[in-house]
Amino acid sequence: MAVNKCVKFFLFFFNLLFWLSGCVILGVSIYLKVHKDGNVITNEAIPGLDLMIAIGVIIMLLGFLGCWGAIRENRCMLLMFFISLLVIFVLLLALGILGAVEGKKDWVKERLDKLTPLSSQPANVREDLEKLQAELKCCGLVTGSSEWTPIPDSCRCNGTLPECSTSGVYTTPCSTRIISLMETNMEVVLGIAFAIAILLIFGMVFSMILYCQIGRKDGVTTA
């Protein structure tokens, strides 16, 4: 039985796009890591760039593995590709369920709590926190304005605002604002994860079809 050329080349181009997307993710992530003037506070709370670099490398390796296995009709590589996609699919499903069910409030607060007391932190950390306070209308990292000595101007606010205390400072800690932003964007993240999961299913289906067809062809040839 001959190998279906449509399945073979569809899998090849699927993995070529997979590999190219990995290159793009890796390149952009490295560029941002090296050139972007990131905020120390948000990088600590949401360490996304290092994760994106790792994802880019993994996608590039899997894309190459799938392309080579498809074009060379190599069953071993196709099986490795299928198993890798299956593992990633299971992990993605587990992380998606955890992300939807469990909040990350304690996790974020624990990481930011390591940056206290603020008086012992280097100048760049305090400067980044002040920028964040002015942008998100918050004060302090975990407990509030009590973390500052003295309280900076970025914590000051108009007393008529609901989030402003009678002493004229923001009452909401920045960790609460960061967690709120994460929860707001959770639906988008889960949507992207769902789309990736669909692509993984297609990749697994076509790789296994090609794997089986190559096996039947080799069996006929041997006979």
Q: Are residues 51 and 131 in the same domain?
A: no
- Predicted confidence at residue 101, as pLDDT, reads 53
The verdict on 192 and 131 lying in the same domain is no
Give the HSE-up count for residue 110: Cα atoms under 13 Å, Cβ half-sphere: 4
16 and 90 in a single domain? The answer is yes
Taking the C-alpha atoms of 129, 131, 132 and 138 in order, what is their torsion angle to the nearest 10 degrees? 90
Domain span at 146: 106-114+127-180
**120 inside domain:** no
Q: Does residue 216 form part of some domain?
A: yes
Same domain, 31 and 65: yes
Write down the pLDDT at residue 170.
Answer: 92
Number of separate domains in the chain: 2
pLDDT number for residue 105:
64
Output phi, psi for 156, to 5 deg.
-75, 145
Instruction: Tell me, yes or no, whether 190 and 174 share the same domain.
Output: no
Residues 66 and 33 in one domain: yes
199 and 94 in a common domain: yes
Q: Where are the alpha helices (DSSP H) in the chain?
A: 5-35, 40-45, 48-71, 75-101, 105-113, 123-136, 174-184, 186-222
Q: Does the residue 122 lie in any domain? A: no
**In terms of domains, do 45 and 153 share one?**
no
What 3-state DSSP class applies to 156? Answer: strand
* Contact between residue 62 and residue 81 where contact means Cβ atoms under 8 Å apart: yes
167 and 218 assigned to the same domain = no
Same domain, 51 and 99: yes
Q: What is the pLDDT of residue 223?
A: 46
Same domain, 50 and 77: yes
pLDDT for residue 217? 74
pLDDT along the chain (223 residues), means of 10: 71 81 77 60 61 78 83 84 85 66 64 78 85 89 87 87 86 86 69 74 85 75 49
**pTM, 2 dp:** 0.59
User: CA angle, 17 as apex, 182 and 81 as ends, to 5°?
Assistant: 90
Q: At 169, phi and psi to the nearest 5?
A: -130, 155
Look at residue 171 and give its three-state secondary structure.
coil
The reply to whether 119 falls in a domain is no
Instruction: Check whether residue 136 and residue 76 sit in a common domain.
Output: no
